[in-house]
Structure 1
Amino acid sequence: MDSSDINSDRPLGRDDSPGTDAPDAQVPAQRGPSPAEAGASGTGAADTGASEAPGEERYWKAGRLERMPIRALPDAPPSVHLLGPTVFLVALGVGMGESYMWPRLVLLFGPEIRWLFLVGVSLQAVVMLEMSRYAMATGESIFFGAARVFKPLMWFFFVTAMLVYIWPGHLSAGASAFERVSGIPWQATAVTGMLLVGVIFTMAKVVYNLLENVLSICIGLLVVGTSVVAGLVGNLADLSSTITGMFAFGYMPDEALSAAWFPVIVGSIAFAGPSGMQQMWYTLHLRDKGAGMGSHIPRIRGLAHAGEQETMPTRGFMFDTSEPEEMAKWKGWRRWVTFDAFVLFWGITMLVTVSFTVLAQASARFDPGVVTVIRDGERDAALDAMAASFTAAGSPVFGTVFFLFISLIGLNATFGLFDSFSRGQADMTYFFVPGARRFSMSKLYAFFLWGVILFGIGVLLWGPADGPAGILDTLAFLSTFAMGAYCVTLLLVNNLMLPKPIRPGIVTNLIIAFAAVFYLGMLFYSLFAYGVVVS
């Protein structure tokens, strides 16, 4: 994807011919493989219909839900590209974990503790690749894929999203940082921020296009800004220990293996990159970008443009995996998303967290007492200490800039989370709640968007949470549990619902299985060993 792709209203993979974004009847049919071809290629679930007449509609049958018609896979864009759908995972990943949780752990246990961050964010890069596999092959979300395996599995994620992502933790933490520099109460800023997000998304013609542009600008400011300030505040020794600390595999001081801090580490690993269900929502952003078979699915529009919303097909599509030309295009899409996963997502996330780790170490030099304050339970002390190190770089303005960075992270994450939550809930509701299709996808999206906004305002003004940090901590247990659960779901969906030629290999399956054990194992070890799930 070059710069023209980013600035264009036409998503990747979409053509502008009539019918691309229209209901099924308007999409040109393509003949699928014959029964013999299907068996030879491993696509034994292909349903060829009642006759073998040339040009007859062919399908891929996955689970007990509606069959997927065979359609052409669009040509893949160049592998090397600027930010595309991965901007959502970068925006959600570069959040409170990188700027708040991990700097706190570095201050307490040293940069060597960051080997756990390296493991966590690397696992998430592989998860990102596997989430994209099903979405690009079918145009369906991973939630639809889960329903094809077992409908209650999908409903588990529907309920989990309602329990986890209705809490305005990221925005409230960012608003708290803004209060430090403006004096405006964090509740007022957070409420204003949520209303602003709601209005912007409501007025957007195509929600995806607006969000990609906004988040690209925010991520650019964040990456450049934190790198510059880290260079001013830190030194080569800080940078060296930050990098080498990532490879101190197995390092775990005694204090970390305690009821006070091991649950914090578990929660921080969950927040190393996008946490909870954010990877699952990525499949919906791929679809709206027109990646792979998502080119055959209409995009979500803002409520103000709901009348322009095209009718959604009742299921996704599959390409002919027995055709060499189609498989060549598939490999091109896999190269494209692999670049996304390891160069953009992994690389940018690591760059930002390296900057914040350098700042954390510099703050310990400027204020050696900060470690004692953190041990005594003052959760915001890490942020105050890093702001002080900014100020010590030469001007009080730098301290203000630091808190503005934290505020930007909170707003950034809120844009991504509110959109993703609304997108995911609307998708499951539209396809699986009886009677929901009488409403357009854009109206369902708006319903969940304003629902989470109004609930968040109620929590901020009258809720029981103990300030921003208390709200943020409520996310960690279910986030970690959801991550283990979605790894299991990935294994089932990609190995049972896709044709054999495009299923994951043994190495990939082993990595995803390890991720499931890693997340769930640490979570339940914390529960049974210490009687605490998060802290």
Structure 2
Amino acid sequence: MNESALATSSESTPRLQIGSKEMPPWKLGELPEAPPMSLRTWTQLIGPGLVMGGAAIGAGEWMAGPLTTAKYGGAILWLSTLSILGQVVYNLEISRYTLYSGESIFTGKFRLLPGPFFWLALYLLLDFGSVFPYIASAAATPLAAVMVGEIAQPDRTYELFSQSITGDALLRTLRYVLFIGMMTPLLFGGKVYNSLKALISVKILLVLGFLILVAALYSTMETWIEILSGFVKFGSVPVIGGGDADQPMTKNIFVSLWNGEGFPHIDSQMLAILGALAAISGSGGLTNTAISSYTRDQGWGMGANVGVIPSMIGGENMQLSHTGMVFRITAESLRRFKGWYRYVLRDQLAVWMPACFVGIALPCMLSIQFLPRNTQAKDWEAAALTANGLRDAAGPVWGQFMWFAVLFCGFLVLAPNITTTAENALRRWVEVSWTALPPLRRWDPHRIRTLFFGTLCAYAAFGLVSLTLWDSVRLLKWAAALYNAAMGFSCWHVLAVNLILLPRELRPNWFLRIGLFLGGVFFMGLSVISGYSIWNEVVK
């Protein structure tokens, strides 16, 4: 540690100033001992990976996944593999920073030069995709279907509760009700993090339980071979022509070039959806940054010394420090740090990563198993066709129940993600403002919940406007393009943070450094591809 960077303070606690002087210096403290890993301490594993793993089963998995596999089968799932692996490396590295400082990685980014106001302007642009309420827009469709017995058609009139309502009015009403209603868990529970853990645990139990039951009863070995092999068919892309109703229209870029056939003619109309699948496989965009603050709220590493974000109701006695706290590098502190890092490693590899692959595989299993290959579908048409296929497979006794269950499952997948997406976006901006903006640094640490509530109200207002103006698929494509750009740049930025702000003994090894760099290249490439596809749609 650079002792010359120690700053004097009116407080008795010594401080450390590294990076931009517009950010407050870290406090210096002691790293607590990590609990020993054993079967008796298995509950320590139920942490950030559970919350983010459950949240990872969302719009990308339930909408973009079936939209692509319904037409092309499992061959394009390798994009999800690269996306998830890249995010694992990213998650490990942002948690590394939090274990050392107790701060979220977003705050760490603002500590680098040229200073917080430069990064504020840049990340407001990159993070704009997270404020689009495409999940609320999408979640209204399966709920409406359960209510009226079919995918609601905008121009049809339905009888509900002895009242007549058009499909369009029903969908709009449900979008507004769901969007506002799913914000309420963020107001209760003491620690906002605890509310999320409870909500996501229920979601995982119900959704994965149902999908595993369907897979066990109705799927075939051929379906699972196609899905599992699709995760490793690197280079397979959708092409124009070369297929029929029974064969997926895909070619492998590497095989095509090796055979002298040239570069395949890629179906550009599917590029935006493919980009969305990769972007939202796992978490996507800047939503991954929440892993680092959840690591803090779990009390891992120096997070135990910093505090948590409290809810508006029930969090009166909780607070969050305006700045992080780091520890001196000694043989003992390095030993303790490695102990905490093992928890992060296990959390990512044993909980988050498997949850992401399962969250992709099970919804795609439905479309591959129950839809003819090369099925053309838009938005929730794929989900409706899948539900019809499962109804036919289940027979006259259980068929209608399975139809309702598939669509209600889609609702359960998406509705909790309205909460997690909102909390995620609010968390990173509230935390960085709490540290970076001098006026807020003068607030009492208990008033963090007031700032969180005010920002939540502003987020809700923008969301209601967005739901009025734009449809869910358009919002999904726009968000995906921005998500990929944000994730790509963030990979490179995190690499810079950990190489500049962390002591030499705690910096990532070369394998992780290369992984972060390549992850940035991958996501930036997807962003360019998605942006090109969206631009073509606008021009046409």
Q: TM over 0.5, yes or no?
A: yes
Secondary structure of residue in 2 paired with 1:318: strand
Q: Assess if the C-alpha contact under 8 Å between 2:322 and 2:434 holds in 1.
A: no
Aligned residue type for 2:52: L
CA RMSD of aligned residues (A): 2.5
Q: Assess if the C-alpha contact under 8 Å between 2:70 and 2:376 holds in 1.
A: no
Using the TM superposition, give the Cα deviation of residue 135 of structure 1 relative to its aligned residue in structure 2, in angstroms.
1.2
Q: Assess if the C-alpha contact under 8 Å between 1:99 and 1:406 holds in 2.
A: yes
Aligned residue type for 1:113: I
Distance 2:327 2:517 in 1: 27
Counterpart position of 1:295: 304
Note the alpha carbon deviations across 1:52-76, whole angstroms, 9 max, x for none.
Answer: xxxx955443213333232111222
Secondary structure of residue in 1 paired with 2:173: helix
Counterpart position of 2:163: none
State yes or no: 1:222 paired with 2:207. yes
State yes or no: 1:512 paired with 2:516. yes
The 3 A distance-change label for structure 1 pair 166 and 48 is closer
Distance 1:399 1:318 in 2: 54
Counterpart position of 1:330: 337
Within a 5 Å distance, the mapping from 1:148-167 to structure 2 comes to 148-150=111-113, 151-152=116-117, 154-156=119-121, 158-160=123-125, 163-167=128-132
Counterpart position of 1:385: 385
State yes or no: 1:362 paired with 2:369. yes
Aligned residue type for 2:359: V
- 2:465 counterpart (458, 462, 465): 458
Using the TM superposition, give the Cα deviation of residue 201 of structure 1 relative to its aligned residue in structure 2, in angstroms.
2.1
Counterpart position of 2:323: 315
Note the alpha carbon deviations across 1:133-154, whole angstroms, 9 max, x for none.
Answer: 1111101111211111132453
Structure 1 gaps, min length 5: 1-42, 51-55
Distance 1:253 1:350 in 2: 21
The 3 A distance-change label for structure 1 pair 317 and 250 is same
Structure 2 gaps, min length 5: 149-159, 161-169, 241-249, 251-265
Counterpart position of 1:261: 270
Note the alpha carbon deviations across 1:378-405, whole angstroms, 9 max, x for none.
Answer: 3322111221222123121111111111
Q: Assess if the C-alpha contact under 8 Å between 2:488 and 2:524 holds in 1.
A: yes
Q: Assess if the C-alpha contact under 8 Å between 2:98 and 2:292 holds in 1.
A: yes
Using the TM superposition, give the Cα deviation of residue 527 of structure 1 relative to its aligned residue in structure 2, in angstroms.
4.5
Q: Assess if the C-alpha contact under 8 Å between 1:309 and 1:441 holds in 2.
A: no
Q: Assess if the C-alpha contact under 8 Å between 1:83 and 1:216 holds in 2.
A: no
Q: TM-score, normalised by structure 1?
A: 0.83
Using the TM superposition, give the Cα deviation of residue 479 of structure 1 relative to its aligned residue in structure 2, in angstroms.
0.8
Counterpart position of 1:495: 499
Distance 1:78 1:279 in 2: 27
Distance 2:131 2:341 in 1: 33
Using the TM superposition, give the Cα deviation of residue 501 of structure 1 relative to its aligned residue in structure 2, in angstroms.
0.5
Using the TM superposition, give the Cα deviation of residue 305 of structure 1 relative to its aligned residue in structure 2, in angstroms.
4.3
Counterpart position of 2:225: 240
Note the alpha carbon deviations across 1:2-31, whole angstroms, 9 max, x for none.
Answer: xxxxxxxxxxxxxxxxxxxxxxxxxxxxxx
Note the alpha carbon deviations across 1:326-345, whole angstroms, 9 max, x for none.
Answer: 11111111111111111101
Note the alpha carbon deviations across 1:221-243, whole angstroms, 9 max, x for none.
Answer: 22222111122221111112211
Secondary structure of residue in 2 paired with 1:280: helix
The 3 A distance-change label for structure 1 pair 212 and 337 is same
The 3 A distance-change label for structure 1 pair 532 and 492 is farther
Within a 5 Å distance, the mapping from 1:513-528 to structure 2 comes to 513-525=517-529, 527=531
Q: TM-score, normalised by structure 2?
A: 0.82
The 3 A distance-change label for structure 1 pair 411 and 528 is closer
Counterpart position of 2:33: 75
Q: Assess if the C-alpha contact under 8 Å between 1:230 and 1:356 holds in 2.
A: no
Aligned length: 476
Aligned residue type for 2:81: L
The 3 A distance-change label for structure 1 pair 265 and 67 is same
Q: Assess if the C-alpha contact under 8 Å between 1:300 and 1:309 holds in 2.
A: yes
The 3 A distance-change label for structure 1 pair 390 and 435 is same
Within a 5 Å distance, the mapping from 1:97-496 to structure 2 comes to 97-150=60-113, 151-152=116-117, 154-156=119-121, 158-160=123-125, 163-183=128-148, 185-255=170-240, 257-305=266-314, 307-310=316-319, 312-321=320-329, 323-365=330-372, 371-374=374-377, 378-394=378-394, 395-437=399-441, 438=443, 440-460=447-467, 463-466=468-471, 468-496=472-500
Distance 2:417 2:105 in 1: 21
Distance 2:198 2:375 in 1: 42
Distance 1:237 1:360 in 2: 13
Question: How many percent of aligned residue pairs carry the same amino acid?
Answer: 22
Secondary structure of residue in 2 paired with 1:329: helix
Distance 2:3 2:317 in 1: 36
